[in-house]
Structure 1
Amino acid sequence: MPYGYISVGSNIDKQKYIPASLVALRKCFGQLTVSSIYESEAVGFSGDSFYNCVVGFGSELDVKIVARKLRQIELDNGRTRSCKKFSARTLDLDLLLYGDQIINEDGLQIPRDEIERYAFVLEPLAEIAPMLQHPVSQLTYDELWKNFDKTDVRQKRIDPVWLPTE
């Protein structure tokens, strides 16, 4: 069964939308592996801080169906498709990895290049899948995180009271 990883982020009513997304993802995919929650500054625009995490799941669904389900969860949680790439949002769900697939077509990019560009994606991914290898570079996510330039990283692990337990 392919195992996938999703980046989850919110900076509008994040105490509401992060837990709501985890509930919706459990309904779609069953048992999840959920990283710690990280609070990070907005990237690419001025705005409220984000809460971010990475979620792992197993599924037999086709990758395009998984991507459509993620878009629907975003829409169900107040996301508008007209918002700019770097802007405030209720919920952002990005499929980072799906098995060992490498895809770049029809608006679907796997592995997502954000994995190696943003600490708010790489650190939680390295937390829950440290020994998993990036399908292109073949480096583990632990290695990628250790080598990541943390000079300007502005994020911290938080312990929200609403974090659902397994």
Structure 2
Amino acid sequence: MAKIFISLGSNIDPERHLKAAVIDLEAHFGELVLSSVFESEAVGFDGTNFLNMVVAAETELSIAEVVSTFKQIEQDHGRVKGAKKFAPRTLDLDLLLLDDTICNHPIELPRAEILYNAFVLWPLAEIAPSLCHPVVNQSYQALWNAYDKTSQTLWPVEFNWSK
């Protein structure tokens, strides 16, 4: 079984979509480890704030199968296939890591945004602080400690997981 880390984000009815995504991910991958939920300003475009988190799971699926599963979950929750990258979205699921895999195909792993987006790095450091980034060989906690926290606005929020 491979350990995967998944970034979740939404800025269209985000509470509903994050809850639904966690339910769907649990149905596909079993037990999950959830970070706190963080609110952040939109990055790359003007838009409403996002809710973001990182989830860990285990899988025997290939990278392509995992990504396909994520795309289906996104589409099931109203994400428009082929929509522009920097725009509001119901749900965004990104595979950040699959064990220590380093690759560029079928997707880039580890995902580059781990190192430059606070909304990915902080929740990842929260649930996997001692795990090391396979390229830069530093723990996620060390990377978060060194991160320029003035570069992006981000804060943890209370999140009610009950339906």
Same fold (TM over 0.5): yes
Q: Deviations over 1:130-151 (max 9, x none)?
A: 0001011110000100111111
Aligned residue number for residue 138 of structure 1: 137
Aligned residue number for residue 120 of structure 2: 121
Aligned residue number for residue 20 of structure 1: 20
Aligned residue number for residue 67 of structure 1: 67
Matched residue SS, 2:119 = helix
Matched residue SS, 1:104 = coil
Alignment of 1:41-80 (within 5 A): 41-80=41-80
Q: Deviations over 1:87-124 (max 9, x none)?
A: 10000000000011111023x11100000010000000
Q: Which amino acid aligns with 2:119?
A: F
Q: Distance in 2 between matches of 1:84 and 1:63?
A: 23
Structure 2 residue 9 is the aligned partner of structure 1 residue 3: no
Q: Distance in 2 between matches of 1:21 and 1:159?
A: 18
Q: Distance in 2 between matches of 1:70 and 1:63?
A: 11
- Higher mean C-alpha deviation, range 31-40 or range 149-158: 149-158
Q: Distance in 2 between matches of 1:147 and 1:85?
A: 28
Q: State the 4+ residue runs in structure 1 displaced beyond 6 angstroms.
A: none
Structure 2 residue 103 is the aligned partner of structure 1 residue 103: yes
Query: Can you give the 5+ residue segments of structure 1 that lack an aligned partner in the other structure?
Result: none
TM-score (norm 2): 0.97
Query: Can you give the 5+ residue segments of structure 2 that lack an aligned partner in the other structure?
Result: none
Matched residue SS, 2:4 = strand
Q: Distance in 1 between matches of 2:118 and 2:150?
A: 11
Q: Distance in 1 between matches of 2:61 and 2:83?
A: 28
TM-score (norm 1): 0.95
Q: Distance in 2 between matches of 1:152 and 1:111?
A: 22
Aligned residue number for residue 92 of structure 2: 92
Matched residue SS, 1:94 = strand
Q: Distance in 1 between matches of 2:117 and 2:15?
A: 22
Q: Distance in 2 between matches of 1:160 and 1:27?
A: 21
Aligned residue number for residue 35 of structure 1: 35
Q: Distance in 2 between matches of 1:88 and 1:16?
A: 15
Matched residue SS, 1:58 = strand
Shift of 1:82: 2.5
Matched residue SS, 2:108 = strand
- Identity over aligned residues, as a percent? 47
Shift of 1:84: 1.1
> What's the Cα RMSD here?
1.2
